[in-house]
Amino acid sequence: MEKGHCGVDIRPLKDQYAAIGLIGFVPDSQRYFDIHHNKNDVFENVNKRELHLGAASISALIYLLDQHHEE
């Protein structure tokens, strides 16, 4: 985790919603740029296992935040 850091996709929300914490998922970049931003960068080419692992990671984080939040 990096305090104060957010990914480029959600950066516009940082100023608009300053009081809300933002979380960006940073995938393993080992194969990320093999097709990133070229003609083969389509959903059909997403590695299904890596998509499921990323979704599970974010789901677990959301669950933990919900169960252990402080008001």
Query: Which tens digits make up the pLDDT trace of 8-67?
Result: 777 788 778 777 777 777 777 777 667 778 888 888 888 888 889 989 999 999 999 899
| DSSP-derived secondary structure for 16-57 | HTTTS--------TTTGGGTTTSTT-SGGGS-HHHHHHHHHH
Task: Indicate yes or no: pTM above 0.85.
Answer: no
Higher pLDDT, 11 or 70: 11
